[in-house]
Chains A and B, each alone.
Chain A
Amino acid sequence: MTIDWSWISEHTSDLTTLTLSHLQAALSAVALGLVISLPLAVVAHRVKPLRGFLLGFSNVLFTIPSIAVFVLLLPVSGLTRTTTVIGLTIYTLVVLLRNTVEGLDSVPAKTKEAAKAMGTRPLRTLLTVELPLALPVIMAGVRIATVMAISLVSVATYIGDGGLGQLFTDGFQRNFPTPVIAGVVLTLLLALAADAALVAVQYVLTPWTRRRRSA
């Protein structure tokens, strides 16, 4: 299997467009997933009876094949970017919800009691004490969800919008490996870059964890 380098140099602008579209779909899904999973995680953390239901429900969503999720959304949102983003969001929810609940669980009860004793109201405790302390675990979830979403965008190629995934269909139909190799390599590089960027974000957002590690 040889790579046709001239094909790659002729298609640089196409590859750039596909990469950007790929990244946009994945990032939108993670952002949407965060917006949905944060309030749900707070509910699951505070209301114990709902916890098992919410986590169990998200686990069942995870078992549906991604191709089927995209196809099932077709009657709702058609052959559009919306379908891709909703489908991917469903997958990010599983990871984001579980990690956010675990992050909130990991905050020591004493810390919350101290905040309460100082007269901090529950909402403020959540925003200024619990969520920041849960951030390392939440960010671990965001990293997994982002990498997973980037890899899954290609599946949306079956509904005509798969970013770099279109290269797989193209290569498959023409029996031409170069676009497939380019697609796999670019997806991996994109995931690697996004993961590194998130590590940097976490480093900036959680200065207190650095001191502990160096000690």
Chain B
Amino acid sequence: MYELFKNLGAWLVDGDQWAGPDGIGHRLAEHLQYSLLATLIAAVIALPLGLLIGHTGRGAFLAINLSSFGRALPTVGLVVLVFLASGLSMWPVYIALVALAVPSIVTNTYAGMSAVDPEVKDAARGQGMRGHQVLFQVELPLAMPLIMTGLRLALIQVVATATIAAYVSFGGLGRYVFDGLAQRDLVQVLGGAVLVAVVAVVLDLALSALQRALFRHRPAKSA
């Protein structure tokens, strides 16, 4: 075990390992690109959907069941299926990652919106605010902590799962995991896994710092 961790340390700090198209630097950039782009696409789809469901109260059933459907969907199967349908393109990876991220964003946005005290909304309407004003000036700011939690959760899942891109012969940090697996090279697998975990934790901390900076006036409630 000790030997393994010593080799892992050597693998991680080796300068050659970081350079070139197979190097950690390049793989890291690829991994970030897959994860951030997929989460961004998912947010563009999921945020308006969650806001609409939360604001109108319609489609709550959909929002709740979507999350359990999303959790149940086997990502590997989805990647293989889209791969067989579309051939060698980035489609399978992005579709699977977006499908993974959308439910947690929709359900958390909806949960945040429905947690807003109805009396506050009534008060806003009583002051003459219109529907969209209540949504953007009252409900959205109050729901923000939970919405951010949903985005963080989605991003962590996407970063961990972007490993799968390597399965259908693309890059990212998953390359080390799958190549190491094929070559029975445990140090490489471990190196890849550690790097993915570090990226996920760092991105999560960055989002939580952003959240604190943006919404300083209000203690963030976790749910």
Contacts and interface: CB of A to CB of B under 8 A. Distances in A.
Contact of B84 (A65, A164, A175): A175
Interface string B64-91: 0000110111111110110111000000
A177 B81 contact: yes
Nearest to B202: A63
Contacts of A66: 160
A187 B164 CA distance: 19
Contact of B73 (A71, A158, A184): A184
A171 interface: yes
A192 interface: yes
Nearest to A61: B197
A63 B198 CA distance: 8
Interface string A148-176: 10111011011000001101100110011
A154 B74 contact: yes
A183 interface: yes
Interface residues of B, number: 36
Contact of B72 (A65, A158, A191): A191
B160 A168 contact: no
Contact of A168 (B77, B190, B197): B77
Given A72-B189, A187-B72, A67 B80 contact: no
B68 A195 contact: yes
Interface in A62-81: 62-69, 71-72, 74-75
B161 interface: yes
Nearest to A159: B181
A63 B197 contact: yes
Interface string A111-129: 0000000000000000000
Interface of A: 1, 60, 62-69, 71-72, 74-75, 143-144, 147-148, 150-152, 154-155, 157-158, 164-165, 167-168, 171-172, 175-177, 180-181, 183-184, 187-188, 191-192, 195
The 4 closest A-B pairs by CB, nearest first: A68-B193, A191-B72, A63-B200, A65-B163
Interface of B: 68-69, 71-78, 80-81, 83-85, 156, 159-161, 163-164, 174, 177-178, 180-181, 186, 189-190, 192-193, 196-197, 200-201, 204
Given A72-B189, A151-B72, A184-B77, 13 more contacts: A64-B197, A67-B174, A67-B178, A68-B190, A75-B186, A144-B68, A144-B71, A154-B74, A154-B77, A168-B77, A176-B84, A181-B81, A191-B68
